[in-house]
Structure 1
Amino acid sequence: MAKMKGVVIVNTERCKGCNLCVVACPLHVLSLTKKVNQKGYNYVQQTLEDTCNGCSSCAIVCPDACLTVYRAKEA
């Protein structure tokens, strides 16, 4: 069976730093940054680039639809 690889794209200006996606990620791929967006919120970022499997748990729980997850088979 082919291994799946995922990438999380974050709309940093919409993110309010609620931390729900960080908690929902089973592989602990996401974390809040110390940087703030224009609204003054810390936003989330993908910190472990090669670990994400594209399960989309983070995007499902995001109340503001800030996350887009892309998934592809690893070669």
Structure 2
Amino acid sequence: MPRPVFFQERCKGCELCTVACPKKIVVMSSQFNNKGYNFSTCIDDGKCIGCALCAKTCPDTVIEIYK
């Protein structure tokens, strides 16, 4: 089963990954990272289909998909 991993400290909150996710399970956290940005996270790893569109869209290599 695919599993997305988010490196939250790298995230700058651009939200491109949230738009790219076809399952709409990538969202912005209400918390902040050490840089002061809301970071992206997955709300339901079990629904991830492993398409990696979120990771491909991310300009800061915040997301990796493990299959």
TM-score of the pair, normalised by structure 1: 0.85
Q: What's 1:60 paired with?
A: 56
Q: What's the CA shift string for 1:23-68, capped at 9, x where partnerless? A: 0000111100000000000001110121001100000000011110
- Whole-angstrom distance in 2 between the partners of 1:46 and 1:69: 11
Pick aligned residue for 1:27 from 23, 29, 35: 23
Identity level (%): 39
Q: Which has the larger radius of gyration?
A: 1
Q: Gapped runs of 5+ residues in structure 1?
A: none
- Structure whose residues are more often strand by fraction: 1
Once the two structures are TM-superposed, the CA of residue 70 in structure 1 deviates from its matched residue by 1.0
Q: Which residue of 2 aligns with 1:9?
A: 5
Q: CA RMSD in A?
A: 0.7
Q: Which has the higher helix share?
A: 2
Q: What is the distance in 1 between the residues matched to 2:25 and 2:66?
A: 14
* Matched AA of 1:18: C
The runs of at least 4 consecutive aligned structure 1 residues that moved more than 4 Å come to none
